Amino acid sequence: MVAAAADLPAGVIRAEQRARKLIAKRALVAAAAGAVPLPGLDWAVDAALLSKLIPQINEEFGLAPHQIAKLPVHQRERVQTAIALVGGALLGKLITKSLIIRAMKAVGVRLTAAQAAKFVPLAGQAASAALNYAALRWLGEQHIKDCLRVVQEAKLQLIAPAH
């Protein structure tokens, strides 16, 4: 269970806000790709977006592999235990094509509906764009929730990543 925003340290709240901004930007790109009437383009764009977005969110929360590796041993073990408890397949790992495909399967019905909708001029393309936007937003939000749970479980003190 993720604590209410008032119960979270300021560093965690800022990381969450930065991650949500990343998601919003990428979801708009996913929506634009969804509006293009080329079958399969949105899947390719979504996969590319997610393969960059998930590591960026991990980094915001101090959960990128290189960040975890720098932690003291006791803290690294707490983080690994928290990741195992949360069950986040995209936490603390190098993001691979197979991990992204697994994540996309979670919203497969929405993305399949978006593909079908593309064949209806204008209204279908708008529906496809909306479904792509919602799917990417949902995946990003789920990942943020996983990150928040790990940070809380491991009692990580977040320091803003250098950009």
Task: Show pLDDT as tens, one digit a residue, over the chain (163 residues).
Answer: 566 665 778 889 999 999 999 999 999 999 999 888 887 788 788 888 988 999 999 999 999 989 999 999 999 999 888 888 887 666 655 565 666 666 666 665 555 555 555 555 667 778 888 888 988 999 899 999 999 999 998 888 766 555 5
| The pLDDT of residue 119 | 58
Q: Which helix (H) or strand (E) holds 116?
A: helix 108-117
Domains of the chain: total: 1
Range of the domain at 99: 7-154
Kindly state whether residue 1 falls inside one of the protein's structural domains. no
Using CA atoms in the order 33, 34, 38, 40, what is the torsion angle rounded to 10 degrees? 90
Kindly state whether residue 161 falls inside one of the protein's structural domains. no
- The letter for the amino acid at 96 is T
Kindly state whether residue 159 falls inside one of the protein's structural domains. no
Burial (Cβ within 10 Å: 0-12, 13-18, ≥19) of residue 141: middle
pTM of the model: 0.77
Kindly state whether residue 2 falls inside one of the protein's structural domains. no
Kindly state whether residue 65 falls inside one of the protein's structural domains. yes
Q: Left, alpha or beta for 30 (phi > 0: left; psi -120 to 50: alpha)?
A: alpha
Kindly state whether residue 133 falls inside one of the protein's structural domains. yes
| The pLDDT of residue 111 | 56
